[in-house]
A and B are shown apart, each in its own frame.
Chain A
Amino acid sequence: MTVFLVLVMLFAGAYLVAVLEGWTSTGRLRFAGPFWAAVALLGRESIVPRKPDRVLYETAPVLLLVSAVLAAAVLPLGPHLVIADLATGALAVNAALAYVMVALVMAGWGPDGAYAMVAGWRFLGQLVAYSMLIVMPITAVAMRAGSLVTTTIVESQAGIWNALTQPLGFVLFFLAAMAVCFLPPFDLPTAPGELAGGIEAEYAGPRLAVVRLARMVLVVSLSLAVTVFFLGGWLGPFLPGWAWTSLKTLVVAATMLTAGRYVPRLRGEHVMEWGWKLGIPLALVNIFWVGITLVLRSM
């Protein structure tokens, strides 16, 4: 039952995010837009490129969707509204997200097209840059909660949200989250102007539909992760828990979608250099900051 509920909300969220994206890109808010777009994609042909690595080419979209769904599966929408409340939930999120990269590398190599291949390896580089900025802030969050269980992490924020106690970690995690779902300005693997669609360039019809769906679900999962780890998940007055979670998640998603429109795409080398020379040191500072505050409080 919970599973069903959560999945329904997940895909509903994905749909709303798609609507939001349409709004940011065209300026018109069309609630039927994603539906028609999806049907149109289903109705179009979908070919396999000339001499592909068929296995990788076909696996990539599925794997992308699977990893996005699994990431959401361990994140709670409400006190008891979580598919799998794993003891290592916070870790499991990373595990699921790691396969986003695997999927994109497959999608890059599979079709034997130049644009796609460059895009695929580009994203592996992007992972090298953002991965630590996902992991380290989560560690700091786990320190405060004294547990990796996502529900416990939310409850640990009953007093005050993590976003306020560890703003540094929040900002880093937010940016890294945008990088995971390759939204602008981190859209190096899809870069329309630079690589004519990159990893998406060879997918069409139903396959493209799956890729797009996976992308949307991914955005929702990451926004949900930000909400759970830093914005106090379901905590909030008056409204029921799940409503608060959905509300916060959508706000985060909208911010992610709009933010990238007002800055140019980052250069790959900058993403890496800044991630390592700025991001990781700051993330470590964040960990120590949290550590010290916790020790002081316990005294």
Chain B
Amino acid sequence: MMSPLEQYALLLGMIAGTAGLVGCVYLIGRSFGKPRREEGKDVPASSGRLSSEPVWVRYHVRYYGLALLFLAFDMEMAFMYPWAVVYRKVGLEALLDMGVFLAILFLGLLYGWSQGALKRR
């Protein structure tokens, strides 16, 4: 049984290891020779036309309303985990407690719903 710290170190090592693996893959790929620079080869593929415009424009994301609601829900989940862990020990009280909490949040969802925030714009 490893100590927590050892486990974190292990995970960190796996990140490095995976990156290394990818590096090896690229090395093998490289050993087959360099890619040949040719006209139009590196232009992003778009249905047989050379797209000349840079596409990095101010992109219109249509679900920002939902994204904002999501942030709130994400936040709330932070409380759910510790609650879930002690739930069986505490029992009914925990149920009511979290019931109130979720009810409050559900109100928020309903409000957003009523305002059409759940719809794509």
User: Is there contact, CB below 8 Å, between A83 and B14?
Assistant: yes
Which residues of chain A have C-beta atoms less than 8 A from B25's C-beta? 42, 206, 209-210
Give Cα distance in the complex from A45 to B21, angstroms: 19
Interface string of B19-57 (1 = CB under 8 A from A): 101100110111010011000011111110001001110
Contact A139:B81 (CB < 8 A) given known A66-B15, A86-B7, A298-B88 = yes
Interface string of B80-121 (1 = CB under 8 A from A): 110011111101101100110010001001000100001110
Give the shortest distance, in Å, between B10 (CB) and chain A (any CB): 6
Interface string of A45-60 (1 = CB under 8 A from B): 1111111000000000
User: Is there contact, CB below 8 Å, between B91 and A295?
Assistant: yes
Interface string of A181-206 (1 = CB under 8 A from B): 00000000000000010000110011
User: Is there contact, CB below 8 Å, between B80 and A139?
Assistant: yes
Give Cα distance in the complex from A32 to B112, angstroms: 52
Give Cα distance in the complex from A49 to B116, angstroms: 40
A-B contact pairs, 19 of them (CB 8 A): A47-B35, A49-B44, A62-B18, A66-B14, A86-B4, A112-B54, A112-B55, A113-B45, A113-B46, A113-B51, A128-B63, A128-B70, A143-B88, A147-B85, A201-B45, A202-B45, A269-B119, A272-B66, A276-B66
Interface string of A86-124 (1 = CB under 8 A from B): 111011000000000000000001011111110001001
Give Cα distance in the complex from A86 to B92, angstroms: 28
Q: Which of A121, A143, A288, A292 has the most CB of B within 10 A?
A: A143
User: Is there contact, CB below 8 Å, between B15 and A121?
Assistant: no
Give the shortest distance, in Å, between B119 (CB) and chain A (any CB): 7
Give the shortest distance, in Å, between A119 (CB) and chain B (any CB): 12
- Our pick among B8, B10, B18, B95 for the contact of A69 (Cβ within 8 Å) is B18
A73 on the interface (CB 8 Å rule)?
A: yes
Give Cα distance in the complex from A112 to B52, angstroms: 11
Give Cα distance in the complex from A47 to B1, angstroms: 46
Give the shortest distance, in Å, between B50 (CB) and chain A (any CB): 10
A240 on the interface (CB 8 Å rule)?
A: no
User: Is there contact, CB below 8 Å, between B63 and A125?
Assistant: yes
User: Is there contact, CB below 8 Å, between B14 and A148?
Assistant: no
Contact A128:B18 (CB < 8 A) given known A48-B42, A113-B45, A298-B88 = no
Give Cα distance in the complex from A269 to B8, angstroms: 39
Give Cα distance in the complex from A87 to B94, angstroms: 21
User: Is there contact, CB below 8 Å, between A196 and B22?
Assistant: no
The chain B residue sitting closest to A59, CB to CB, is B19
Count residues of B near A (Cβ-Cβ below 8 Å): 64
User: Is there contact, CB below 8 Å, between B54 and A43?
Assistant: no
User: Is there contact, CB below 8 Å, between B11 and A121?
Assistant: no
Count residues of A near B (Cβ-Cβ below 8 Å): 74
Which residues of chain B have C-beta atoms less than 8 A from A148's C-beta? 81, 84-85
User: Is there contact, CB below 8 Å, between B120 and A276?
Assistant: no
User: Is there contact, CB below 8 Å, between B113 and A277?
Assistant: yes
User: Is there contact, CB below 8 Å, between A146 and B35?
Assistant: no
User: Is there contact, CB below 8 Å, between B84 and A139?
Assistant: yes
The chain A residue sitting closest to B33, CB to CB, is A45
Which residues of chain B have C-beta atoms less than 8 A from A273's C-beta? 118-120
Which residues of chain A have C-beta atoms less than 8 A from B44's C-beta? 49-50, 111-116, 201-202
Give Cα distance in the complex from A273 to B119, angstroms: 7
User: Is there contact, CB below 8 Å, between B89 and A146?
Assistant: yes
- Our pick among B15, B69, B88 for the contact of A294 (Cβ within 8 Å) is B88
Give Cα distance in the complex from A50 to B46, angstroms: 13
User: Is there contact, CB below 8 Å, between A268 and B47?
Assistant: no
A280 on the interface (CB 8 Å rule)?
A: yes
Give Cα distance in the complex from A117 to B47, angstroms: 16
Which residues of chain B have C-beta atoms less than 8 A from A84's C-beta? 2, 7-8, 10-11
A135 on the interface (CB 8 Å rule)?
A: yes
Give Cα distance in the complex from A126 to B69, angstroms: 14
